[in-house]
Amino acid sequence: MIELLTPTQIDEMRPAGKFVASVLTAVSEAADVGVDLLDLDALAHQMIRERGAESCYIDYHPSFGAMPFGKVLCTSVNDAVLHGLPHSYKLRDGDLVSFDFAASVDGWVCDSAVSVVVGTPREEDVRLIAHAQEALDAAIAVAHAGNKVGDISAAIGEVGRSHGLKINTQFGGHGVGRTMHGDPHVANDGRAGRGFPLKPGLVIAIEPWFLHTTDEIVMDEDGWTIRSADGSRGAHVEHTIAITEGDPIVMTARG
């Protein structure tokens, strides 16, 4: 079911977006060489408790997950790109890490992701993150009432292909509201002018993710972490946005 929110409800959702953005900023700034992924998850958990928010991840158990997630932050390192399950791993110089975080504040959910390089960056990793961000910006630019979900998908795919990247469409964006995952599905490639019409009140998470040299993925032994099939690195970025009569509102804007 696709839900359209009123302007008042969108305003009520803003604190959730602000909180999610603040957590991602905090964990990105705390990520450094020698920092353990479990410590970053603990930081996010502490912020949830202090805010009186609720984690969308800790009890999450979809059909593709081996068990309830059990943590509050996704930490995907290097060849991992999605749903990285935090474990005891100390970040190393040059690691590319993606943080994905969703939380509920006062009953409203927002979802966002960011990719950063720890220590000394590789040029190809910096470019990959930039390509993912370019795709997200292009998608948001066409997220206007009167367009279609396919316009968002096509914008992401066009950017990815322009940089010689292959696009996986198994996981993508989604509706957001009272729950983390709802309709419509927002694929990272598609045909412009197709799909559900974008209407004022629609709130969606848009999340491009790219791998250096493949679009094939495999599930890690932990039953959650998704990695590239060829060991190449991945980048993932995401914002929750609200469609309005005018420009879209980026609910999870940072800074």
Query: For position 13, which CATH number holds?
Result: 3.90.230.10
Measured CA to CA, the distance from residue 203 to residue 249 in angstroms comes to 9
Residue 230 annotated as lining a ligand binding site: no
Measured CA to CA, the distance from residue 249 to residue 238 in angstroms comes to 14
Residue 83 annotated as lining a ligand binding site: yes
Angle at 166 between CA 163 and CA 167, to 5 degrees: 110
pLDDT value of position 251: 98
Its domain, for residue 115, covers 7-250
pLDDT value of position 85: 98
Residue 239 annotated as lining a ligand binding site: no
Q: Is residue 144 part of a domain?
A: yes
User: How many distinct structural domains can be found in the chain?
Assistant: 1
Local structure of 56: helix, strand or coil: coil
Q: Is residue 213 part of a domain?
A: yes
Residue 36 annotated as lining a ligand binding site: no
pLDDT value of position 69: 96
Q: Is residue 135 part of a domain?
A: yes
pLDDT value of position 236: 98
Whole-structure pTM value: 0.97
Task: Kindly report whether the peptide bond that precedes residue 248 is cis, defined as omega within 30 degrees of 0.
Answer: no
Q: Is residue 212 part of a domain?
A: yes
pLDDT value of position 64: 81
Q: Is residue 19 part of a domain?
A: yes
Written as six digits, the tokens of 106 are 């006062």
Q: Is residue 1 part of a domain?
A: no
- 209 near 234, Cβ under 8 Å? yes
Residue closest to 173 by CA, chosen among 202, 207, 132: 207
- 65 near 224, Cβ under 8 Å? yes
Q: Is residue 49 part of a domain?
A: yes
Written as six digits, the tokens of 108 are 């409203």
Residue 238 annotated as lining a ligand binding site: yes
Q: Could you give the angle at which helices 123-141 and 149-162 cross, rounded to 10 degrees? A: 150
pLDDT value of position 159: 98
What does pLDDT average to in each consecutive run of 10 residues of the chain (255 residues)?
95 98 98 98 98 96 88 98 98 98 98 98 98 98 98 98 96 97 97 97 98 97 96 98 98 94
Measured CA to CA, the distance from residue 108 to residue 12 in angstroms comes to 8
Measured CA to CA, the distance from residue 239 to residue 41 in angstroms comes to 20
Backbone angles phi, psi at 39, to 5 degrees: -70, -35
Q: Is residue 255 part of a domain?
A: no
What distance separates the 2 farthest-apart alpha carbons in the chain?
Answer: 48
